[in-house]
Amino acid sequence: MLDKNQIAQRIAKELKDGYYVNLGIGIPTLVANFIPEGITVTLQSENGLLGMGPFPLAGEEDPDLINAGKQTITTLPGSAFFDSAMSFGMIRAGKVDLTVLGAMEVSENGDIASWKIPGKMVKGMGGAMDLVASAKNIIVAMMHTNPKGESKLLKKCNLPLTGIKCVKKIVSNLAVIEVTDNGFRLLERAPGVTVEEIQNKTEGKLIVEGDIPEMIF
């Protein structure tokens, strides 16, 4: 079973040289720590920055320079600032190559629910609806089950949707799964996790073809 950092590490293997990437809050943010050596990836922060750098050193925090998670950050050589309309303009126009975000539920046809639990939690969708409606490639980083042990990979989402038919791939603590027209297709198992366990913890249709390899980091 993977921990949060390992999920991020596995997702980082999907990055390619030249990619512009938007990382959501939570596990997706950790992906920045595992960008493979030798490739250039530019991080987009939807509050208006391309070329997001690491957190500042103590004493160098700048209140005017934050990421979409409201954390203090830095710029890099080649960074650019812009307003929120241009930020979502580049997202809507398909300029961002990869979006990584978290989810509460994903359905077998690629629907995603991530922004609201009716009666309990209403924080808002932020930029998630814009991102999932337009991104060419969306990877969801999530736990396979909720704290009660119930599957979060469903036939149909129960919670209010963030977007429809948009998730392309899921990296969970148990598996790497591709979302196809016919359902979830199992690509890789986390080390020490069996196909049977993944099957048991996936409520939606899981397609298992041939030997399923263990993930390599």
Partner 1 sequence: MNKVFKDAGEALHDISDGKIIMLGGFGLCGIPENCIAALVKKEVKELTCISNNAGVDDFGIGLLLKKKQLKKMIASYVGENAEFERQLLTGELEVELIPQGTLATRCMASGYGMPAIFTPAGVGTEVAEGKESRVFNGKEYLMEYAFDADFALVKAWKGDTAGNLIYKETARNFNPLMAMAGKITIAEVEELVEAGQLNPNEIHTPGIYVHRIFKGSVYEKRIEQRTIRQSAH
Distance of CA 104 to the CA centre of its chain: 12
Residues from 191 through 210 that contact partner 1 (CB under 8 A): none
* 112 vs 170 by CB, closer to partner 1: 112
Parallel, antiparallel, or unpaired for β 206-207 and 183-189?
parallel
Q: What angle do CA 70, 43, 83 make, to 5 degrees?
A: 60
216 contributes a contact to partner 1 by CB under 8 A:
no
Burial of 100 (0-12, 13-18, 19+ CB in 10 A): buried
Q: Should residue 128 be labelled a site residue for partner 1 when binding is judged by CB under 8 A?
A: yes
Among 20, 51, 76, 92, binds partner 1 (CB under 8 A): 92
134 binds partner 1 (CB under 8 A): yes
> Side-chain half-sphere of 102: how many Cα atoms within 13 Å?
19
46 in catalytic set: yes
User: In whole angstroms, what is the distance from residue 161 CA to residue 149 CA?
Assistant: 21
Per rule CB under 8 A, is residue 93 in the interface with partner 1?
no
C-beta of 135 vs 171, nearer to partner 1: 135
Least distance to partner 1, CB of residue 84, Å:
4
Q: How many CB atoms lie within 10 A of CB 168?
A: 17
Residue in 46, 105, 188, 203 binding partner 1, rule: CB under 8 A: 46
Contact residues toward partner 1 (CB under 8 A) are: 45-49, 54-58, 60-73, 75, 81-85, 87-89, 91-92, 111, 122-130, 133-134, 160-165
